[in-house]
Structure 1
C-alpha cells in the first residue's frame, strides 16, 4: 500500500509540474491548433460590420472561440464554421479577397468545415483540403473559388455533405469530370449549383455511383444530355434513396422526360424547371407516392395532365407554368387535399374548371393565368369559401389544424364568363385577386369585398364589370394596387380611394369617369403608378406631380401646360390625346431613367429639344400630331435604346439626320406628313432592325436607293407622296418580311420589278394560315405580333394609313393581317408582271394611274385573297381573264379607263360590283354594262353617238380654257397672299402638291375621253 501511495504521489507531482497541452490553468485547446486557427484568421477578410465575428478569438481557450468546436475528451478542433452572411448576397469587391492559409491541414481531426459566403475570388480551391481525411461536412458555397475542382477532394471518403454551389451568373468553378466522387460512398448531400459541368460527359453515370445520396442539386450547371435519355443503360439504379432532385435552369438540357425518374420512389422534391425537357407526363407518375413538390415550369412538355396525378396525395406544390400543357384538367386534381400551390399559368389548357378544385381547402395559391379556360367560376369560389367557413367552425372547436386559406387567386387572360359570386367576399385571407382580361359580366358590390381585410392587390381590368358601391363606402382593405381598367365605376371620381393610404398602383382607365380630378387624389403619398386614361376628365393638371414612376393621363380633355413633374425616377409618361399646349419643358432633360415619352395628339409647339438625344434609356418617343416645327436634332449613338420614334404630322422640315435613323435598336420610324426634303440618308441602311419605315407625304427627292434592300426586317415600307424618281430598285425583292409596300404618288418610271416577286415571302401566306396573337390586355397584342414579341406592354399601337377600296383607312389592331402593294400615280410602264400573281396572301393591289400596257395575266385569279384591285387609268388591252371570277373576297374592283374588250366574266362576287368599275373601255360588254348582243358595244356613260361626241368635244375644250384662265388669275392672288406669312407659304406648298395630283388625274381622264370620241368620229 505504501508503494502504491508513493506511485500516486509521484504522478500527482509530475502532473503538477508538467500539465498536458490540452489543459493549462482551465484552458481547453491544443496549442498547435490554436496557432493554426490564428493563421487562418489572418487570411480572412471581413467588412467592418463583420469584424465582431473574430472579437472572441483572444487568449488561449480556442475551443470557446466563435465558430470553433472541440472534442471534449481529446480537445482537438473538430468543427470550424467561418461562414459569412453579408447584407447583400454578392461579392463585395471593395474588400480585398481572402486567402485560405495552408495551416488548415494542422486541424487533422476536423470533421466540419464551413467557409461559405467568404470572398476567395481569384483563388482555386486548395488541394490541401483533400488532406483533411476526417471531414464529414464541407461547405464552400458562394466563396468565389475559381478554376477546376481539384480531384483531391475525392480523398474525403468520409464526407457526407458537400456544397460547392456558386452564384448562378458567375460560374467561377468548373469540372471536366466527376470521377473523383466515386470514393465518397457515404455522401448524402451534393450541391454543385452554378458549377460549370458543360464538359462533363456521362455526369449522371458518375453520380449514380453514390448509393447513399439523398440530396442532389445541379441547377444552373450547364448540363448536357449526359446519358440521361438512355433509360436502358441503368442496369442498376443506385439513387433509390434520393428524396431531393433539382436539375432546374439547365437551359441546354434538351432531353425527353426520362422514365427512370419515376422509379425514384423516395422522391419528395423534384425540380426540372427551365430546361428543354419535352414529352408528356406518364401515368407512372403515380409511383412517386412521397412527392410533395413537383416543378416542371418553363419546359416543353406539350401533353395533358394524366388522371393518375390525383393519386399523389402528399403533393403540396404543383408548378407547371409555361410548360405546354394542353387539353382539359383532370377531375382527379380535386383529390390532392394536401395541395397548397397550383400554378398552371401560361399554358394551353382549355375547357371548364373541374368542380373538384373547389374542395382543395389547403390551397393558398391558385394561378391559372393565360390559358383558354371558359365557363363560370361559381363552383370554384363557392367551394373555396365553404372551406373558409368550415375552418372557422374547426377553429372554434379548438381543433389543431392548418387554418390558412387562399392567399392568391389569379385567373387573368382566359375566357371565363358569367358573374362573379358574392362568395368571393368570404375568402378572408385573400391578398392577391387577379381576374383581368376575361368575359366576366355583372355588378360588383360591397358584398364581394365584405371580409377581404388582407387584400393587397386586385385586378378586374378588361371585363364587362360595373362597380356599384355606396358613395360613403369604406373598403375593409387598404390595398397597394387597384386595377379597374375598362370597368364602369360611375361618372364621379371614386371617393373611397381616399381610404387607401398605401396605394402604389392604380388603373381607372376607360372607367367612364368625367369632370375634374379632385385635389386630394394628387396628394396620395405612396402612389407610384397612375393610369386614368381614356376617360372624360377635364380641367388643368396640378402645378406639380411628384413621386410617380409611370404616368398615363392619355385620351382625356386636359388643357393647359405640362405641369412640373418630378423626374428622378420617372419611367414612363403618356399625355397623348388631350389638349395640352406649350413647349416641352426642359426639366425632362433630367429624366435619366425614362423609357416611354408620349405627347401625341396635343397642341405642343416649339422645336424638338436636343436633350432627347441624351436620354439613354428612352425606348419610345411619340410626338405625332402636334404643332412642332424646326428640324430634327442630330442624335448619335447615345440614344441607342430608342426603338419607336413617331414624329408624324407636324411642321418639321429640313433633311433627315443620319444619326437618328441609324440607331441599332430602332424598330419603328414614323416621319410622315411633315416637310422633310432632300435624299434618304445613307446611314439608314444600317438600321437592320427596322420593322416599320413610314416617311410618306414629305418632299423627299432623288432615287430610291438599292441599299434599301438591306433592311431585311422591314414589314412596312411607305414612301408615298414624295418626289422620288427613277425606277423601282430590284433589291426590294430581298425584303422577304415585307407585307406593306406603298410607293404611290411619286415620279417613278420604268417597269415594275422585272424579276420574280418570290422574294416577298410574307405576301405568299394566306390569312387562314396566320397565327392570331394572344394578348394580355385589350389592344396591346398588336406590338407583340408586329415586332415579333418586342415591346408587348408599352402603350403604343402601331398604325398605318392605307389607300384601298377607293378610300384611305387607318389600320391598327388588325395591321398584322394586312398585305398591300400600292404603286399608283407614277409613270411606270411595261406589262403586268406575271410573277405578281404568286402573292397568294396579297389583299390590296393598286397599280392605277400609270402607263402600264399589255394584257392582264390569265392566272390573275390565283391572287385569291384580294379584296381590292385597282388597275384603272392605264393602257391595258385584251379581255378580262375569266379567272378573275375566282376572287371571292373582292369587294372593290376598278378596271376603268383602259383598252379592255370582250365580255365581262361572270361570277358571284363580280355580280355585286358597280358598273363604274368597267367604264371607259371601248370593247367591254356584258353585265353590268350593256348586253353583248346589242348592236352598239357596251360603253361607259359618255361613250354615245357622234352628236353627243361633238358636244362632249366642245364641253371639254371650254373646260380646259376655263381651267387655264382661272388658274392664271388665282395663281397671282395666292402668291400675294402667301408672301405675307411663312406658315402660309408652308401650307401652300403642301396644298399645291395635292392640286397637282388632282389636275394630273383630270387631264388623263379627259384626254382619254377626247381620244375615244375622236376615234369614233373617224
Structure 2
C-alpha cells in the first residue's frame, strides 16, 4: 500500500503545481494587493479593442467591450472563450437582417481590422449583416487556420475572393453571399474537403469556368447557394443522359440554389442530373430554362422542394413526377406551361399525401378546376394568371387544410361555393374572373381569414353586417368593380381593423361611410366611384396616421381639402380627381409621390407644392381653375415622371427650371395662356415620351433640339400656337413618333424629305392600346390595391372633330401639319409611311401633284389635302386605300376624271368641290363620257377638220339594220338555248345567285369594318 500512497501523493503535487502555474499566467495583482482572476488572454483582449476602434457603433452594441466592470473580454458581447485555456474561440457580431425592424443598428467601418490575427484559436467568426464597406477582401482571415465557421454575408465587401481561403482546411461553413466579390477560379475550394455549406450568392463568377468541377470535389457538401453569380455556361457533350447517375463524388449534396444565373437547359441539366440522385431541394428559378420539364426530376426520389419559377418551360408535368412521393413544394409560376390542369394533377398523384404547396400561377394552363380532395395535405394553391374556366366543383370545399387559395385572373364563372368549409383559410384571391351571384354570408364564418380579394367580377346583391360577423382577423378587404351595394347601419362597429380597403365602383353612397371612423389602422383606402355626394368630414383626415394610398376619385365630394402636411405624414398616393373640391391647393407632406386633383374646382396658385418631391411619381392638376405663373421651383421635383396642367388658366413663360425634371416622361400644358419660347433647358428631359403644349400662345421656331435630344418621343403636339420658321430635317430623328401635330401655327417652308425616317410610322404594327407608365410597384404581400400607373391621353383631330384619346392612344399614327404656310411639293417618299392612319396637310400653300404611290400608305383612314394649290390628276393608286373613310381634296387645282373605283366614288361631292377642272362621279360626268370617244384624224397636213363629218358618214342605214339583226340573233342564241336545255338553266341561275351573294357579303363586310373602326377610334 505504501507504494500506492506515494504515487497518489505525487500525482496530487503535480496537479497543484500545474494549477499554480496556470493561475500565474491568468491573474494580475491590483495596486492594493488584491488578486482578480481573468479568463481571457491579454493580447487577445487588446486585439479585440483594436478591432472595436475601427468600427462605428452608433447604437452601443459593443458598450460592454472594455468597460471597467467587465475587464474580462470573455464576458463581452459576442465573445466566447475556452473554459480551459481562456483563448477566444467564438466571435459572433452578426447584425440584424433586412426584415428586422432594428436593421439600422448595424456595425460599420471602412475595413475589418487585421488585429483579429491575434485570435489564432478562433474557430467561429460571424460578422454577417453589417456594413464594413471594405474595399478589398480581408485576406488575413486566411491565416486563421482553426476556423470551422466563417460568415461574412451581407456586408459591403468588395474585391477578389482570395485563393488563400483554401488554407482554411478545417472550414465546415463558408458564407460570403451578398457582397461585391468576384472570382476567376474556384480551384481553391477543393482543399476544403470538410466543407458542408457554401454560400457565395451575389459574387461575380462569370469567369469561373471551373465552378462545376470545384463543387464536385467537395464530398461532404450538403448545401450550395450560388444565386445571382452570373455562372458561365459550360460546354456540353453532343449527347448526354438526362437521368441521374451515381457517378459523382458529391453524394452528400441535398440543397442547391442556382437561381438568377441566366442558365440554359443544356448547360445545367447535364451537371445536375449526374450530380446526386438524393437531392432534396432544387432552386433553378429566374433562369433561361426552356423546353419541357425533363423526366429526370421525377427519378430523384428524395426531392421535397422544386423551384423552377420565372423560366420559359413549356408543356406540362412529366408522368415521372408520380414517383415523387416526398414532394412538399412544387413552384412553377411564370412559365409557358400549357397543359390542362386535370392532367397536371394526374401526374402528381404520387405526392397526394405529401404535397403542401403547388404554385402554377402565370402560365397558360387551361381546363376547369378539378377535384383536389385527394391531395389531403395541400395548404397553398396558386393558380392565378392562367386561362382556367368553368365553375367551382362541389368537391372543392373538402380541402380542409387549405389556408391559401389564389385563382385570380382566370375565366372562372358561376357562383361562389360555400367557403365556410375552409376553416383554416387565411388568404383568398378571386379577382378578375367571371364569378356571378351573391357573396355568401358563410364567408363570415372564416375566423382566420386575413385577406379577401374578389374584385373585378360580376357579383351582385347587398352586403351587410352578417357577411363579416366573425372576421376578427381580416386585414385586407377588396370588393372593387362588382355590382354590389354595401348597406351598413350608421352605428355599425366592424369586428376587424383593416389595413387595405377597396370598394371602388361599388355602391355605398350617398353619404360618407361612418363606419370608417372605427378603422384607425388602414394604410390603403380606395372608395372611388361609389356614389358619395357629401362633404368629407373633418375627422377623416386624422383617422389613420399610417395612410399611404388614398383614392376618393369619381364621386361628388365637395368641400375644402385642409393642410395635409402635418396630418398624413407618410402618404404616398392621393387621388381626389373628378369631384367637387374647391379652394386652394393644400400643402402636402414631403413623401407624396402621386397627386391627382384633376377635374375639380381648385383655384389660385400652385406655389404651395414647391416643398413636395414627387419622387418617381406624377402630378396631375388638369381641368381646374388654377391661374398665375408657374413657380420656378421644379428643381425640388427632379424625379417627377408625369406633369399634367392641362385646361387651366396658367400664364407667363414656362420656367427654365422645368428642365431639371430629368426623369419626366409626360408633359401636358395644353389649353393655358403660356407665352414666349420653349425653354432650352427642356432638352435635358431626354426621357420624355409625350409632349402636349397645344392651345397656348407660344412663339419662336420649333426648336431643333426636339429632334436631336428628345428622341424617345411618341406624341408631340404643338398645335394652335404661334410657332414660326420651317420644319427642320432634324425632326426626322424621332424614330418612335406616332403622333406629330404642328397644325394651326405660322410654320412655313418646304416639307422635309426625310419623313420616311419615322420608323414607327413606316411600320404597320402599333403599341398596345394605351400609352401608360408604371409609377410605383408594390409587392402583393403589402397590397393588391396599389400598383399605381398613369394612362396618358392626347387631344387629337380625328375625322373632322377633336377627340380626347386615352384607351386607344397607342394605336394612333397621325401627322397633322394643317393650317400653316407650307409651300412646295409633297415629297414622294411620304408614301413610305405605311402605318400612317391620319394625314392632314390642308390649309397650306402646297403645289405640284398628289404623290403617285399613295396606295403604299395602305393603312390610311383619313386624308385631308384640301385648300392648297395642288394640280394634276388624282392618281389611280387611290384604289388601293381600302381603309380610307375620310377624304377631302376640295379647293385645289386638280383636273381630269376622278378614277373609277368604288372607294373614290363612295365619298360625297364636297370632298372634291372647288376643283373646276375635275369631273366624274360623284361630280358631274366628264364631257367625253356623253358620246363615244372621238379622236381627230391626223393627216400629212395636220388635223383633219372634216373628222366629225367623215365619222358620221360611216353610220349608214345598213349599219343600223345589221346592228338590230345581230342583237336578235345573239339574244335568241343564248336565251333560246336556256329555254330548251334545263341543265344550262340551272347553271345560269346558280351563277346569278352567286353574283348576288358576293355583292351582299362584300357590302356587309365593308360596312361592318367601317362601323368597327369608327367605334374603336372614338
> TM-score, normalised on structure 1?
0.79
- Alignment CA distance shift 1:928-1:633 (3 Å): same
Instruction: Give the 3-state SS of the residue equivalent to 1:433 in structure 2.
Output: strand
444, 450, 460: which is aligned to 1:466? 460
Is 1:876 the counterpart of 2:890? The answer is no
Q: 2:390 aligns with which of 373, 376, 383?
A: 376
Q: How does 1:505-520 map to 2 (within 5 A)?
A: 505-520=500-515
**Separation in 2 of the partners of 1:26 and 1:361?**
63
What is the match of residue 653 of structure 2? Answer: 655
CA change 1:666–1:683 in 2 (3 A) is same
CA–CA separation in structure 2 for the residues paired with 1:787 and 1:138? 39
Q: Which residue matches 2:193?
A: 185
The residue aligned with 1:905 is 899
SS in 2 for 1:286: helix
1:611-648 per-position Cα deviation (integer Å, ceiling 9, x unaligned)? 33642536211111111111111134321111111111
User: Aligned match of 1:266 in 278, 289, 293?
Assistant: 278
Q: Flag the 1:128–1:361 CA change in 2: closer, same or farther, 3 A.
A: same
**Cα deviation, residue 915, structure 1:** 3.1
2:358 aligned residue? 342
- State the alpha-carbon separation in 2 of the partners of residues 427 and 577 from structure 1: 41
- Is the contact made by 1:245 and 1:271 (CA closer than 8 Å) also made in structure 2? yes
1:409 equivalent among 386, 405, 408: 405
**Distance (Å, rounded) in 2 between the aligned partners of 1:119 and 1:894:** 70
The CA deviation at 1:922 is 2.4
Pick the aligned partner of 2:622 from 620, 624, 627.
624
* C-alpha separation in 1, matches of 2:361 and 2:628: 50
CA distance in 2, matches of 1:431, 1:562: 37
Instruction: Say which is worse superposed, 2-11 or 540-549, in terms of deviation.
Output: 2-11
1:198-237 alignment runs, 5 A limit: 198-225=206-233, 237=248
Paired residue secondary structure (1:219): coil
Deviation at 1:839, TM superposition (A): 1.0
C-alpha distance in 2, partners of 1:340/1:665?
45
Distance 1:475 1:665 in 2: 48
Aligned length: 892
Residue of 293, 303, 307 corresponding to 1:281? 293
> Matched residues in 1 for 2:496 and 2:595: separation?
29
Partner residue, 2:663 = 665
1:440 counterpart residue number: 435
Residue by residue, what CA displacement relative to the aligned partner does 1:550-608 show, whole Å, maximum 9, x if unpaired? 221111111222234323112111111112211113x32xx110011111111111122
Measured at CA, do residues 420 and 83 of structure 1 come closer, stay the same or move farther in structure 2, by a change above 3 Å?
A: farther
Alignment partner of 1:296 out of 290, 293, 308 = 308
Local SS of the residue matching 1:854: coil
**Pair 1:723–1:786, CA change in 2 (3 A):** farther
Q: CA deviation at 1:22?
A: 7.2
SS of the aligned residue for 2:791 comes to coil
Counterpart of 2:576 in structure 1 is 575
Give 1:655 shift.
1.3
Secondary structure, counterpart of 1:605 in structure 2: strand
Structure 1 counterpart of 2:728: 729
The answer (yes or no) to whether the contact 1:105–1:128 under 8 Å persists in 2 is: no
Could you tell me how far apart the structure 2 residues matched to 1:771 and 1:321 are?
27
The structure 1 residue matched to 2:681, chosen from 680, 683, 694, is 683
The answer as to whether partners of 2:464 and 2:487 remain within 8 angstroms in 1 is no
| Structure 1 residue 584 corresponds to structure 2 residue 585 | yes
Deviations 1:709-763 (A, max 9, x none): 121011111111111222222111110000001111112222222x132211111
| Contact 2:592–2:612, Cα closer than 8 Å, also in 1 | no
Match of 2:848, SS state, is: strand
Match of 2:169 among 157, 167, 174: 157
Task: Choose 258-267 or 861-870, whichever is displaced more.
Answer: 258-267
Contact kept, 8 Å, 1:369 with 1:412, in 2: the verdict is yes
Structure-2 separation of matches of 1:683 and 1:210: 61
Once the two structures are TM-superposed, the CA of residue 905 in structure 1 deviates from its matched residue by 3.4
Q: Deviations over 1:74-97 (max 9, x none)?
A: 879795363545464567246897
Query: 1:241 aligned to 2:237?
Result: no
Structure 1 residues 848 and 143, CA gap change in structure 2 (3 angstroms): closer
- TM superposition shift of 1:36: 6.2
Contact kept, 8 Å, 2:110 with 2:133, in 1: the verdict is no
Provide the secondary structure at the position in 2 that maps to 1:239: coil
CA distance in 2, matches of 1:704, 1:550: 40
Describe the shift of the 1:865–1:513 C-alpha distance in structure 2 as closer, same or farther (beyond 3 A).
farther
Would the aligned equivalents of 1:97 and 1:119 in 2 still touch at CA under 8 Å? no
Aligned counterparts of 1:618 and 1:141: Cα–Cα separation in 2? 31
Cα distance per residue 1:109-145 (max 9 Å; x no partner): x765656567766497766655565654444545766
Task: Give distance in 2, aligned partners of 1:230 and 1:265.
Answer: 23
What residue in structure 1 maps to residue 591 of structure 2? 593
Does the 8 Å CA contact 1:243/1:266 hold for their aligned counterparts?
Answer: yes
Greater shift after overlay, 202-211 or 98-107?
A: 98-107
User: CA separation in 1, counterparts of 2:739 and 2:347?
Assistant: 49
SS in structure 2 at match of 1:845: strand
Question: SS at 1:245's partner residue?
Answer: strand
* Aligned pair partner of 1:534 in 504, 529, 532: 529
User: Does the residue aligned with 1:866 lie in a helix, a strand or coil?
Assistant: coil
* Equivalent-residue separation in structure 1 for 2:519 and 2:72 (angstroms): 61
Whether contact under 8 Å (1:214, 1:244) holds in the other structure is yes
Deviations 1:512-563 (A, max 9, x none): 3331113442452112222111232112112351233222111111122223
Which of these residues, 370, 375, 382, is aligned with residue 360 of structure 1? 375
SS in 2 for 1:409: strand
Deviation (angstroms), 1:834? 1.6
Pairwise CA distance, 1:463:
2.0
- C-alpha contact 1:426 1:450 (8 A) present in aligned 2: no
Partner in structure 1 of residue 1014 of structure 2: none
Assess if the C-alpha contact under 8 Å between 2:318 and 2:347 holds in 1. no
* Residues 677-724 of structure 1, C-alpha deviations (whole Å, 9 max, x = no match): 112222222221111111111111222122221210111111111112
Closer, same or farther in 2 for the Cα pair 1:327/1:750, shift >3 Å?
A: farther
**1:245 positional shift:** 0.8
Residue 573 of structure 1 aligns to a residue in which SS? strand
Q: Does structure 1 conserve the Cα–Cα contact (< 8 Å) formed by 2:583 and 2:602?
A: yes
Which of 769, 772, 788 aligns to 1:783? It is: 772
Using the TM superposition, give the Cα deviation of residue 231 of structure 1 relative to its aligned residue in structure 2, in angstroms: 8.5
| C-alpha RMSD over aligned residues | 4.0
Distance 1:787-1:408 versus aligned 2 partners, 3 A rule: closer
Match of 2:947 in 1: none
Superposed CA deviations along residues 51-87 of structure 1, whole A, max 9, x for unmatched, are 579999979997999964769xx87979536354546
CA–CA distance in 2 between the matches of 1:905 and 1:617?
Answer: 59
Aligned to 2:744: 745
1:635 matches 2:633:
yes
Instruction: Indicate if the aligned counterparts of 1:63 and 1:75 stay in contact, CA closer than 8 A.
Output: no
Q: Is the 8 A contact 2:426 2:451 kept in 1?
A: yes
1:793: how far off?
Answer: 4.0
DSSP 3-state at the match of 2:303: coil
- Note the 1:925-964 alignment, pairs <5 A: 925-932=919-926
2:498 to 503, 513, 518: 503
The equivalent of 1:1004 in structure 2 is none
| In structure 1, distance between residues paired with 2:774 and 2:896 | 45
C-alpha separation between the residues in 1 aligned to 2:689 and 2:818?
23
**In 1: Cα distance, 2:702 partner to 2:491 partner:** 60
Task: Give the alignment partner of residue 895 of structure 1, picking from 889, 896, 902.
Answer: 889
- Distance apart, 1:459 and its partner CA: 1.6
